[in-house]
Amino acid sequence: MSNAPAFTALQVMQDAPVIPVIVLNDVAHAVPMARALVAGGVRMLEVTLRTPQALACMEAIARDVPEAVVGAGTVRSKADAQAAANAGARFAVSPGYTSAVGQACRDLGLSLLPGVATGSEIMMAQEDGFTQLKFFPAMQAGGPAMLKAWSGPFFDVKFCPTGGVTLQNAPEFLALPNVVCVGGSWIVPADAMAKGEWDKITQLAKDTQALRK
């Protein structure tokens, strides 16, 4: 595999106003859910490594929904990154940052959005060449006010706030010059997936397009 990523982290962030944070418990839901999101204009899909089925779900989406770009969330180790790449992931999102995870993603050709919650973590990620970062958990770690404070010392960093972000508070984040997109789970509600309400997920994805700056 070439270690040049198919998409840069900035391209992943710029594709739509929201990157869906997806928790899948049933492989049968993966493909219809991905198709529903793509139909609503959302194609960068962060499937979190929080369930035993996550990797199989990534494989199914990568195989059967070529218009979607599968990403792996909750990447915490080199082994996670390798498993995600093997399953067809083309970008990775981590809840925190370590140099080992950063190097593993580079070696595998996975664009990485490293998670940060403090100035020191931003500096560690920057030292390793990462300037597009996930601010997590966004609301618990200071929300829009923290991002405004960071815009001075970290003027060259762009963020994707994730954690506690909703359709209601997303506009406040997206209005900030250092925010490119947000991450949110509200586009893929567990009850809608359980009931197979794919049209609802498409509509939720379409609703996010109005958030575009």
Chain centre distance of CA 61:
16
Question: Phi and psi for 197 in degrees, rounded to 5?
Answer: -85, 70
Catalytic residue status for 200: no
Of 134, 158, 197, 200, which residue is the catalytic one?
134
**Domain membership flag for residue 1:** no
**Domain membership flag for residue 2:** no
**Range scoring the smallest mean pLDDT among 2-6, 87-91, 100-104:** 2-6
Q: What is the pTM of this model?
A: 0.96
Instruction: Provide the angle, in degrees to the nearest 10, between the axes of the packed helices 54-64 and 78-86.
Output: 40
Beta bridge partners of 111: 91
Tell me how far apart the alpha carbons of residues 26 and 13 are, in angstroms, rounded to a whole number.
27
**Domain membership flag for residue 213:** no
Question: Residue 176 belongs to what domain range?
Answer: 9-207
Q: Are strands 69-73 and 91-93 parallel, antiparallel or unpaired?
A: parallel
**Domain membership flag for residue 144:** yes
Catalytic residue status for 197: no
Is the predicted pLDDT of residue 213 greater than 50, yes or no? yes
Give the CATH number for residue 198.
3.20.20.70
Is the predicted pLDDT of residue 2 greater than 70, yes or no? no
Of 46, 59, 67, 127, which residue is the catalytic one?
46
